[in-house]
Amino acid sequence: MIVAERKSIPELIDILQAHNRILVLGCGTCVAVCLAGGEREVSIISSALRIAGKVKGLTFKIDELTIERQCDNVFIEQAAEAIEKNEAVLSLGCGAGVQAIAERYVNKPVYAGLNTKFLGILEERGVWTEKCAACGACVLHEYGGICPVTRCAKRILNGPCGGSREDRCEVRPDRPCAWQLIYQRLKAIGQLDRLKQIELPKNWSSSLNGGPRVLIREDHRI
């Protein structure tokens, strides 16, 4: 799931102050699950903006709407009327959602209301951790399903670095050493032999390709 967090109200006021009629547009998928951009947050942010706007002498007229997914044109269509009748859109989607709206409404200012952080999972109530950097060439099968790219602070593919103390990461002592986890996991599934292989440097060209990466599934083309 894509994990994001809300921008602060003072920052949003700065971004929006040139506009009067604003649509606060939520997204009902990833950012709703991480309590950043769903229907509830649309309501909270809209109320906060109305109050903070008044304090600053700004007359915001704010509409609220949440669609299922902002990164999908089928769902964006459901917001067409609300987008058209407002001067600007404050999108509470992830970075992809904001850009999807902006691409479709080329004459409409569309602003990001969230800071998109990473691909992660919910560890416990209110705590999400990064699990994947979308590197484009997944090596999880080599590491027992534990990603050294995101979970080792030094991104070491042939670890450990030797700095770990009592199972903790040298760089981030608040986190377990990813290589300790990889070792334990490979041992548990009977694949410790994998550690004898020297992994070649990762081919980052599939993640840093000099431009946006594109995935085309021929079997999904009409």
Q: Give the interface with ligand SF4 as residue ranges (CB under 6 A).
A: 132-135, 138-140, 147, 149-150, 152-154, 156, 159-161, 163-164, 169-171, 177-179
Minimum distance from residue 184 beta carbon to ligand SF4 (Å): 12
Minimum distance from residue 129 beta carbon to ligand SF4 (Å): 13
If the CB atoms of residues 13 and 156 are measured against ligand SF4, the closer one turns out to be: 156
If the CB atoms of residues 103 and 123 are measured against ligand SF4, the closer one turns out to be: 123
- Which amino acid belongs to residue 34? C
Q: Which residues contact 215 (CB under 8 A, 6 or more apart)?
A: none
If the CB atoms of residues 80 and 134 are measured against ligand SF4, the closer one turns out to be: 134
Strand order in the sheet with 2-6: 2-6, 114-124, 127-132
Beta bridge partners of 130: 120
Minimum distance from residue 182 beta carbon to ligand SF4 (Å): 9
What does the alpha-carbon distance between residue 151 and residue 133 come to, in Å, rounded to a whole number?
10
3 state SS of 88: strand
Minimum distance from residue 201 beta carbon to ligand SF4 (Å): 14
What does the alpha-carbon distance between residue 169 and residue 152 come to, in Å, rounded to a whole number?
8
Residues shown for the chain: 222
If the CB atoms of residues 126 and 162 are measured against ligand SF4, the closer one turns out to be: 162
